[in-house]
Amino acid sequence: MAKVLVATEKPFSKVAVDGIKEITDAAGYELSLLEKYTEKSQLLAAVADADALIIRSDKVDAEVLDAAPKLKIVVRAGAGYDNIDLEAATAHKVVAMNTPGQNANSVAELVFGLLVFGVRNFFNGTSGTELKGKRLGILAFGNVGRNVARVAKGFDMQVSAYDAYCPADVIEAAGVKAAKSQEELFDTCDIVSLHIPATAETRQSINYDLVKRLKKGGILVNTARKEVIDEAGLLRLMEERPDLKYLTDIKPDSDAEFAARCEGRYFATPKKMGAQTAEANVNAGLAAARQIVDFIEKGITKFQVNK
């Protein structure tokens, strides 16, 4: 009997766990849960007899793979898979997958939660501004970026996007102005929302020189990854430009410095909240369980991200 382990430091909603169990029960698999774990040793012990693993932002590196001799597949229930060591997975003959798009609406809605909070001065009682009529720049037009564009139109915002890997005509076909570069996006928008993955190319790419291009009163929103930000550069810029705001769903390493030096203009959620909705948990968690069953029963590798 195949054993599926759900290892989530940040647990899914109960309805998602129940749905995952229904799928694994129907396939005749055993399901075990490791939630809210605090030590890596707990994960290492839990994977010892797992054939399949469902994770969220939980780190799966060579040490975890070494501790899981039976493991055949790991599915990141979500979009970004920078938490899986893909080379090590390939070396261990483990298939790694993600569940693209499943939590995209949830992340997109949070962008607007952060934005309304930001433009209303963190609900401090003073007069703020509206989103209507402002130009929103979306950096990377993937599943989340597209959902952000859709919601932005409901706010009557003007929307631009730049994506190094998505042709301008695809962006324009979605009714969004295609910027020619990320520099142009920052030059022309009142607000820029980040939806790039953390890769060697994007790490620390959101830096002093780029963000400096934002118009007076500009806002940077990050529901992507902390690694894409050059924290020292952004902090220096925000001290020089008291008009700028930074709203993030991923606490920077220098959270305390941002909080102390940019009071009233900086907000970070206490824990990454973008995909923390019952709907996103159900969409991504159940997709992960189905992908595992499809892989074990039929060898389907549609969402494989390692080779």
Q: Which residue ranges make up the site for ligand 3PG (CB under 6 A)?
A: 10, 56-57, 78-80, 103, 272, 274-275
- Considering beta carbons, is residue 275 or 292 the nearer one to ligand 3PG? 275
- Considering beta carbons, is residue 80 or 218 the nearer one to ligand 3PG? 80
Q: Whole-angstrom Cα distance, residue 306 to residue 73?
A: 11
DSSP at 94: -
Q: Whole-angstrom Cα distance, residue 153 to residue 127?
A: 23
Query: How near is the Cβ of 203 to ligand 3PG at its closest, in Å?
Result: 16
DSSP at 226: G
Phi, psi of 8 (to 5 degrees): -130, 105
Query: How near is the Cβ of 165 to ligand 3PG at its closest, in Å?
Result: 17
- Considering beta carbons, is residue 103 or 182 the nearer one to ligand 3PG? 103
Query: How near is the Cβ of 190 to ligand 3PG at its closest, in Å?
Result: 25
Cβ-closest position to ligand 3PG: 78
Contact 33, 57 (CB under 8 A): no
Cβ-count burial of 233 within 10 angstroms (0-12 exposed, 13-18 middle, 19+ buried)? middle
Query: How near is the Cβ of 45 to ligand 3PG at its closest, in Å?
Result: 22
- Considering beta carbons, is residue 79 or 136 the nearer one to ligand 3PG? 79
Taking the alpha carbons at both ends of the chain, their separation in whole angstroms is 27
Q: Which residue has the tokens 């483990």?
A: 94
Query: How near is the Cβ of 128 to ligand 3PG at its closest, in Å?
Result: 28
- Considering beta carbons, is residue 56 or 265 the nearer one to ligand 3PG? 56
